[in-house]
Amino acid sequence: MALVFLSFAIKKITIDELKYKKKDAWEQPDTLGGLSSPQVVARTRYSNQGPTPVIDWKFGNSVTRTSTTNFSQNSLTTYGTSVPVEILSQVLRIGARANGSGFEWQKTEQRMRAHSESQEDIISWGHVSGQLKVGESVVCQAVISEGNVVLDYEARVTINFADRNFKVTYWEDGVFSQTCWSQAEVAAIPST
């Protein structure tokens, strides 16, 4: 749909009521695929070879990764670069599986102030600690997973004009794409 607004100043564009065309996307996010195998981002072996009878060990750190979320549709390309945009939508994040093994997509509500966002995520893991007697050792590792998803959608577009609270509403197709990272899962495994 081509819209022409000759002398009207656009105050704001709101995108809401997103309907994803892959119907299972929000009811069964695990059907989406796009999750990488867990990646080891830190691994350390602690060992007590003596002569100290007991030593303390502590494992914790952080890594930085970039996450992006993008909504792409004609009205955002035409007007969204110079006009405030508000997008009300569910987006995806990666969380730990309920059974504690691996990662899965999870839904979350988000209100975006731009149709494209990129941010640096600091993924940290708290300190895991313990003690080792002579001859004991432990291997600690932190793993994360990356998710990439692309979904087609239809959304309601509301263009709010500065003059007399006039607005125009219509439906438009778009594409949602996202790259995000899980939090870290940490394991401490006794070793020989």
- Answer yes or no: are the C-beta atoms of 157 and 75 closer than 8 Å: yes
* Residue 53 domain boundaries: 10-191
- Which residues share a beta bridge with 43? 141
- Which residues share a beta bridge with 69? 117, 178
Q: Does residue 162 sit within a domain?
A: yes
**Regarding predicted confidence, which is higher, 29 or 2?**
29
Query: What is the number of domains present in the chain?
Result: 1
Strand order in the sheet with 103-112: 103-112, 85-96, 10-20, 146-161, 167-181, 54-72, 116-133
Residue 192 confidence (pLDDT) above 80: no
Least trusted range by pLDDT, from 1-10, 100-109, 139-148: 1-10
Q: Does residue 5 sit within a domain?
A: no
Residue 1 confidence (pLDDT) above 50: no
Closest CA to 68 of 189, 176, 161, 163: 176
**Regarding predicted confidence, which is higher, 130 or 104?**
130
Q: What is the pLDDT of residues 43-97, one digit of tens each?
A: 999 999 989 999 999 999 999 999 998 888 887 777 656 677 888 877 777 877 7
Q: Does residue 28 sit within a domain?
A: yes
Task: Give the CATH number, domain containing residue 101.
Answer: 2.170.15.10
- Answer yes or no: are the C-beta atoms of 2 and 74 closer than 8 Å: no
Residue 7 pLDDT level (bands cut at 50, 70, 90): low
Q: Does residue 67 sit within a domain?
A: yes
Q: Does residue 98 sit within a domain?
A: yes
Q: Does residue 2 sit within a domain?
A: no
pLDDT at 2: 41
Residue 36 confidence (pLDDT) above 60: yes
Q: What is the pLDDT of residues 114-166, one digit of tens each?
A: 778 888 999 999 889 999 999 999 999 999 999 998 888 899 999 888 876 78
